[in-house]
Chain A
């Protein structure tokens, strides 16, 4: 039986691996891959040795700066990036939750101005494990279990 990859290899670009199955489309949205002109392939509910099923995204010809890719850390805290050049993995990177999060998560406080007017949210990450976000505006802390990704 010929062994086949569920998601084909790319010549060059980025592979984002170890995405939780529930986070795949959020990651696509956060990285704006739904508007990307380059070839994007992805798979969901794939087998994984380290997770209960995972998702993978492969983007041809796209390379992400740390700051950009760290945005997905809120929804995919253990995601790993492989930079591919000429079908070879040339660099690996594990995402890190950044110190500030802009416009990805909602503030849990219904009386926060960000939930009442069209304003981008802005949080200081006060704890990374578990995640706790302090709203720059209302100063209240949104905990991991209260987090709602936009």
Chain B
């Protein structure tokens, strides 16, 4: 049975992931499919997120749907003290689908229990951001023409990075992934994820800096190392340049290798990489529109 909501990456089965990939490709080839004609989608952004919101709104517009909502809770009844329960109950009477971003963890799961219409989690605090993971997967599939046997390098903040945790979980559904983690010890991939991979018999390797090993990568997934994550600023200063990707480092990488980043990027990918054909992070963002169209169409059984 298909999931009714998309709150966490684990809500979808492997078959559903593959279905989303299929639908995304279809929407990319034929973007003008007015499947949401006559439907209303609520985009409730209780905290601002321009990129994700614009991506969703583009997806809804391309599907021919109408949008209601707010982009910031200060412009909603939340300022009057209305509970999330009441806001969701009310909006589910107006809209056919709710897309929600909220600063508190678990808010989207709760909303899905309260709502009479499907809910898509566009980010709940530091917890889940499943549509990002799906667009990451679609990007991997498009560039590597497969999701099995991928050598995936994850770089930067692997301790707090929700996108890397989620992508790790998603890629573990496929055959024979190899994970290579490049991170400072303070921001290493948490044990629970390593134990999870071990329990599935999946290989991972840990490194503390970029080395020639990246020549084996199919995908290099970059994330930002934030100063605020280091209790001692001196430790940050030591590592802040170690995890920056520069064009000259890409000389011996595979032709099919692509560089992904959930954006916004600050300095962790040097601008000299942008003109390298392996730089894929902006196309990755564009894939977000097609992936979100696919998720919407799937949850509402439009295709």
A interface, CB within 8 angstroms of B: 107, 109, 111-114, 116-119, 135-140
Q: Which secondary structure dominates where chain A touches chain B?
A: loop
- Give the docked Cα–Cα distance between A116 and B110 (Å): 12
Q: Told that A109-B105, A113-B104, A136-B109 touch, could you supply 10 new A-B pairs with CB distance under 8 A?
A: A111-B104, A111-B125, A111-B126, A113-B102, A113-B107, A114-B106, A117-B84, A118-B83, A119-B85, A137-B106
B256 to chain A, nearest CB (A): 34
Do residues B106 and A139 form an inter-chain contact, with CB atoms below 8 A?
yes
Whether B110 and A140, one on each chain, are in contact in the complex, defined by CB atoms closer than 8 angstroms, is: no
Q: Nearest 4 A-B pairs (CB), nearest first?
A: A137-B106, A138-B105, A138-B106, A113-B106
Question: Which of B84, B85, B102, B105 contacts A139 (CB under 8 A)?
Answer: B105
Q: A117, A118, A140: which contacts B105 (Cβ < 8 A)?
A: A140
Q: Please indicate which of the listed interface residues A109, A114, A136, A139 has the most CB atoms of chain B within 10 Å of its own CB.
A: A139
Q: How far is the CA of A13 from the CA of B119 in the complex (A)?
A: 47
Bound: A140/B126 CA distance, A: 10
> Which residues from chain B contact A112 at a C-beta distance below 8 Å?
104-106
Asked whether B291 is an interface residue with its Cβ less than 8 Å from the other chain, the reply is no
Interface centre among B8, B83, B107, B124 (most CB of A within 10 A): B107
Say yes or no: is B131 at the interface (Cβ < 8 Å to chain A): no
Determine which of B104, B124, B128 lies in contact with A116 in the assembled complex, contact meaning CB atoms within 8 Å: B104
> Residue on A with the closest CB to B83?
A117
Residues of chain B lying within 8 A (CB to CB) of residue A136: 106, 109
The answer to the question of B127 belonging to the interface, with a C-beta cut-off of 8 Å to chain A, is yes
A-B contact count (CB 8 A): 49
The A-contacting residues of B in range 84-129, CB under 8 angstroms, are 84-85, 102-107, 109-110, 124-128
Which of B8, B105, B128 lies in contact with A113, CB distance below 8 A?
Answer: B105
- Most chain B CB inside 10 Å of its own CB: which residue of A118, A136, A138: A138
Q: Assuming A111-B125, A111-B126, is B83 touching A135 (CB within 8 A)? A: no
Residues of A contacting B83 in the complex (Cβ-Cβ under 8 angstroms): 117-118
Q: Which residues of B contact A137 (CB under 8 A)?
A: 105-107, 109-110
Inter-subunit contact B110/A139 (CB<8 Å)? no
Q: Which residues of A contact B107 (CB under 8 A)?
A: 113, 137
B127 touches A138 (CB 8 A): yes
A18 to chain B, nearest CB (A): 33
- Cα–Cα distance between A114 and B106 once the two chains are bound (Å): 8
Across the interface, which residues of A come within 8 angstroms of B85, CB to CB?
Answer: 117, 119
Q: Which residues of A contact B109 (CB under 8 A)?
A: 113, 136-137
Contacts of A135 in B (CB 8 A): 106
A110: min CB distance to chain B, Å: 10
Which residues of B lie under 8 Å from residue A111 when comparing CB positions?
103-105, 125-126
* Minimum CB distance partner of B107 in chain A: A113
Closest approach, in angstroms, between the C-beta of A109 and any C-beta of chain B?
6
Tell me how far the C-beta of B146 lies from the nearest C-beta in chain A, rounded to whole angstroms.
29
**Cβ of A114: which chain B residues have Cβ within 8 Å of it?**
106, 110
Q: Is the CB of A138 within 8 A of B125?
A: yes
For the complex formed, measure the closest distance between the CB of A138 and the CB atoms of chain B, giving whole angstroms: 4
A139 contacts B8, C-beta separation under 8 Å: yes
> Shortest Cβ distance from A130 into chain B, in angstroms?
15
Considering the complex, give the chain B residue whose CB is closest to the CB of A114: B106
Nearest chain B CB to A96 CB, angstrom units: 24
Q: Scan residues 221-266 of chain B and give those whose CB is less than 8 A from a CB of chain A.
A: none
Chain B: CB-nearest residue to A140: B105
B127:A139 contact, CB within 8 angstroms: yes
A119 CA to B88 CA, complexed, in Å? 14
